[in-house]
Structure formats: C-alpha cells, structure tokens
Structure 1
Amino acid sequence: MASAGGLLSRLREDVRTARLRDPAARSSLEIVLAYPGVHAVWFHRVAHRWWRAPGLKLPARLLSQYARFLTGVEIHPGARIGRRLFIDHGMGVVIGETAVIGDDVMLYHGVTLGGKSVRREKRHPTLGDRVTVGANATILGPVTVGSDSSVGAGAVVVRDAPAGSILVGIPARDLAHRGGGAESLSDPAFYLDPAIYI
C-alpha cells in the first residue's frame, strides 16, 4: 500500500497538472475544491486499488458509481490510468473497464473510451503518453492511439493510429500521416493544428 507521503505527493502532482493544463485555474485551493475531473481521478485511484484486491470488486464498483454521481465522470475501476491525467470539465466522460491510459493524457468533456464487444476480453482503447482527446470524441474497441497524438472534437476513432497522429472526422482519419502538403482551405491537410478541434 502506498505511504501517506507518496499519496500526498501524487495529489500535489495532480493539482500541479491541473494548474499547468487549465489557464482558467486561479489557485490550488480552487482545484482541490472545484475540479470534478481531478476528483474523479482521485476516486478512481482508490476504486482501482480495491478492484485489484480479493473480495473488493463490489465496493470498488459502488465507489466508482458514487464518483460518477458526484463528478459526472464514469471510470470503471478496472481501467488502468497513468500519471498526470487531466480531465477538463469532465461531464460525460466514460472510461471502460479494459481501457489503458498512459501518462500526461488530457481528456475534454464528453469523451468516451468505449467497447464494441460483449466478450470478456480487451475491448476498450489504449492511449499512449501525451495524448489529447477533444470534446465529445469517441474511441471504440481495443484500438491503440499512439503517444503524442491528438484526437479532434467529435471524432470517432475505430482503428489503430501511430504515434503523432492527428485524428479528425467520422470515422477518424489521420491528417499527420497522409502525406503531401495542403493546397487550399478545402484540403483537410490544411487543418493540422489540433487546437482548432478542441
């Protein structure tokens, strides 16, 4: 079990991450008291620890549902989440049981990391490190989105994407690896700045 000092260090890291990621954050106290995305991650850490302990799966699920009620963010306690995840706004985010999220990932509101299978298998996405997923984007199935990728707002990702991808559209296509330059505003490659999709 993590020491009290280690837990406090991780909580401080989450608060620092929120301050770095959100220009609207005015103080650490504001983040601790009023950031549901941060609260959801904290609840998940406890629920995930319980999920892995013998005989505590039901309490873990109940805690995750309580967190959903309080924050609007649903994270299955079986999901594996790396360090410094920041969920901005949070409302409507759903992270499935077999999802794996790397370090320094940012999710905006309405993101779904969902499954397509009803079998007991790896059925949810894997996100590499430093991935940003825009508002209302959906990533379905056991796909992998490589590190340093951006998923545009409203995109639906159903295929693996290599590191450094910029994924937009339904179904999502990768603008970063399509080759060639943008020749006009009608060329999708023109819109390479992921910020315009977030």
Structure 2
Amino acid sequence: MLGRIRKEINAVFERDPAAKSLLEVLFCYPGLHAIILHRVAHFFYCRQFFFIARLISQIARALTQIEIHPGAKIGEGLFIDHGAGVVIGETAEVGNNVTIYQGVTLGGTGKEKGKRHPTIEDNVVISTGAKILGSFTVGKNSKIGAGSVVLKPVPPNSTVVGVPGKVVIRDGEKVETARMEAIDLRHDLLPDPVAETILSLQKNIEVLEKRLLEIEKSSNSKDGSDKCVKKIGVRRQ
C-alpha cells in the first residue's frame, strides 16, 4: 500500500505543474487523500466489512468532494486533479496511470445487477465534466473530451468528443504506440465535430451561391441576346 501511495505522489508531480513540494502534495491535494482513503475502504470491502467500508468512503466524500465506492478497483498511479464532483461507481475498474479531472462520472445506466460501470484501461485521460456510463471498456491511451457523454466502448488510442460521445481520429491518422508511451495530457487540443460539420455546410452553401449567380448571369445574357434578335427581325420586316 505504501508503494502505491508513493506512485500516486509521483503521479502528482509528473502531471501537475502547480505541485511545488512534497508537503503541499501530501496536505493540499484532495485527489490524493481520496485515493488513500479508498485504499483503506477497499481493504475492508474485500473482507466483507461493508458498513465500515462505506463509512470510510462517506468520510472521504465529505472531506474531498470525491465519491469513490469502496468496491471500485483502482490501479496504480491514478491522478485526480482538483477532483470536486468526481464519482466512481461500485463495479468500475480503473487501470494504471489514469488521469481524471473534476466533475467526471464513471457511472451506470440503470438498476441492473452485476458489472454495470465502465472499465478504464491504462494511460487514459478523462477531461472535465465527462460522463462515462455503462458496462464497457475505454481502451488504453484514449482521451475523453470535456463534457462528453460516452455510452459505447472506446477502442485504444482514440479521442472521444461530443454528446453522445463519438470517436475522432486525431490528426486524421492512428496514433503510433511509441508516441503514446508518455501520457498525453493536452485535453484542450481536441477536434470539434460539430464545428467541422458547420464549416463544411457553410462551404457547401458558398459553392451553391456561386453556382446560382453563374446561372443567373448566363440566363440574363441569354435573355438579352434573344431580345436583340427579336428587334433585328422586326426592323427587317
């Protein structure tokens, strides 16, 4: 457990440029406090001391504004930045080196029994306000855009944006595994499919307007030539 806590502390220094000292991280990072208390709660939950486990998780929630069900399985190196409003459900599974920002929900979609929360694989970045709902897998090295609502499985090395969430290939090509060894935290550099669709429609409208002007010009010139022919014909008569 101490080894895991050390990895979580290192994760803060690696992924948060605002972290200045060990004391600051230990005493001023609610995400770290929530993870440490979850480890304790999960220990009791696995031994079927459910009330004690839930009590610890509720204390953690009151202290950190982060709610992690004691049944959730959390890997090593999890970093919860700021953390207010984060909710992780009972059957959720979070892999290693995952980054979660404030307002994220790893939830279910109903009252079904068994596995009902998502599985987040290694090196995933989940941006502010994203909701991942249902029992499916978000693949390794993926990024979930801010405010996205993800309802379907996400393949590895993908970027998801929108409501409902859609997979968008970054830079128009698949990301090589070698480039994804370091965790990509630039969740602000995400494509916007809605804006791209609007721009595409705007370009199509401009093309259509040009074409209409050309047709109008050609029809006007044709009408003018017809009038000239008629006038010449009248004079000859």
Shorter-chain-normalised TM-score: which range?
Answer: 0.7 to 0.9
2: distance between equivalents of 1:177 and 1:60?
Answer: 41
One-letter amino acid of the counterpart of residue 153, structure 2: D
Q: Which entry has the higher C-alpha Rg, 1 or 2?
A: 2
One-letter amino acid of the structure 2 residue matched with residue 163 of structure 1: P
Instruction: Classify 1:10/1:171 alpha carbon distance in 2 versus 1 (closer, same or farther; 3 Å).
Output: same
The residue type paired with residue 116 of structure 2 is R
1:67 and 2:60 equivalent?
A: yes
Is the aligned partner of 1:15 residue 2:24?
Answer: no
Amino acid at match of 1:50: F
Following superposition, the deviation at residue 16 of structure 1 comes to: 1.0
Letter in 1 for 2:38: H
Give the match's secondary structure for 1:196.
coil
Q: CA deviation at 1:31?
A: 0.4
Kept after mapping to 2: 8 A contact 1:166/1:194: no
Q: Among 128, 138, 143, which residue is 1:135 paired with?
A: 128
Higher relative contact order (Cα pairs below 8 Å, separated by 6+ residues): 1
Secondary structure of 1:195 counterpart: coil
What is the aligned counterpart of 1:37 among 31, 35, 39? 31
Structure 2 counterpart of 1:101, from 75, 94, 100: 94
RMSD between aligned residues: 1.8
Q: Aligned partners of 1:119 and 1:169: how far apart in 2?
A: 26
Q: Which residue of the partner structure matches residue 79 of structure 1? A: 72
Distance 2:33 2:99 in 1: 15
Structure in which a larger fraction of residues adopt helix: 2
TM-score by length of 2: 0.72
Q: Where does the alignment leave 5 or more consecutive residues of structure 1 unmatched? A: 1-6, 181-192
- Tell me the residue number matched to 2:40: 46
Match of 2:142 among 127, 149, 155: 149
Amino acid at match of 1:71: T
TM-score, length of structure 1 as denominator length: 0.86
